[in-house]
Amino acid sequence: MNPILLVTGGSRGIGAATARLAATRGWDVAVNYTRDAAAASAVAAEVRAAGRRAWVLQADVADDAQVVAMFQALDREAGVLAGLVNNAGVVDVAARVDEMSAARWQRMFAINVFGTFACSREAVRRMSTRDGGGPWKATGGGRGGVIVNLSSAAARLGSPGQYVDYAAAKGAIDVFTLGLAKEVAAEGVRVNAVRPGLIETEIHASGGQPDRARQLAPQVPMQRTGTAEEVAAAIVWLLSDESSYTTASMLDVAGGR
Ligand code: NAP
């Protein structure tokens, strides 16, 4: 049986590229999404075309009950989880902090931060070898696993005048990655983060700036934007045994920015 991977926000962009590449590297893949069922199903079809099993799971990662239900569905339909990519994430329109609403901050942290916390909690409950599989184990699993979190170069840059709230949320992801990695390092679970730079996906349009990545490309030392596939390659390496001694790491995939 192939190892099972859950990619949150797997319906497009970096998550979809990760699902596709992971399938070619031997993973069965569960594709999570919130709104676009057709796009998630198309990614799942590509995973199956690569000869792997695939599942499509709708859940808003910001909703704790939906996250719990998604992992329970995975237990029933797929089996023991071996990998999690906490990829689901959002930006908001460019604004200064003194223009932002509390509702915006709530959404920013609910999806980007608490969604990652909740999915990681459920994954560790299934992956950790602690006590050799205690009664709290949902699946009788406890065979170890790997978690990759999507941070951002914004966590280093701060994104002034654009979205300091998003950058701060990704800063929280970096610290969460460090702490959780050390907490579960002796329990067979590795936890790392990838910090993409300016990557050509639809996330920029969702923040009202479809050309943002291309416009800022001259600021990148490599003088170009990155692709979702280039980020996926780093994520899939961190999922693989080739990175077996790598945990609590932040991997910048940002062209030197
Ligand atoms: P994207 O193209 O906008 O895709 C986002 C994905 O997340 C979609 O599949 C979307 O699915 C899903 N999603 C959004 N809210 C969700 C929720 N509440 N619950 C579950 N799924 C949800 O984004 P991307 O550019 O690929 O970014 C992926 C990750 O990389 C994000 O964490 C982002 O912050 C990070 N990142 C991106 C860049 C970049 O330049 N693109 C740079 C640094 C970091 P639905 O459409 O179905 O809701």
b/e per residue 40-49 (b: at least 16 CB within 10 A): beebbebbee
Radius of gyration (Cα) for the chain, nearest Å? 17
In the chain, % of residues over pLDDT 70:
96
For ligand 1, whether the C-beta of 4 sits within 6 Å is no
- The confidence score (pLDDT) of residue 32 equals 98
- What's the Cα-to-Cα distance from 110 to each of 64, 155, 192, 246, 250, rounded to whole Å? 10, 17, 20, 28, 22
Stretches in the chain below the pLDDT threshold 70: 131-141
- The confidence score (pLDDT) of residue 141 equals 57
Query: Domain spans of the chain?
Result: 4-253
pLDDT in tens, 104-131: 999 999 999 999 999 999 999 999 998 6
pTM for the model stands at: 0.97
For ligand 1, whether the C-beta of 150 sits within 6 Å is yes
Catalytic: 245?
Answer: no
CATH topology of domain 4-253: Rossmann fold (3.40.50)
pLDDT in tens, 185-211: 999 999 999 999 999 999 999 999 999
Gap from CA of 130 to ligand 1 centroid (Å): 32
* Structure tokens, 10: 């797997």
Rounded distance, CA 90 to CA 34, Å? 12
Q: How many CA atoms lie within 13 A of 79 on its CB side?
A: 12
**Pocket mutation for ligand 1, best pick of 71, 91, 203 (most atoms within 8 Å of C-beta):** 203
For ligand 1, whether the C-beta of 116 sits within 6 Å is no
For ligand 1, whether the C-beta of 146 sits within 6 Å is no
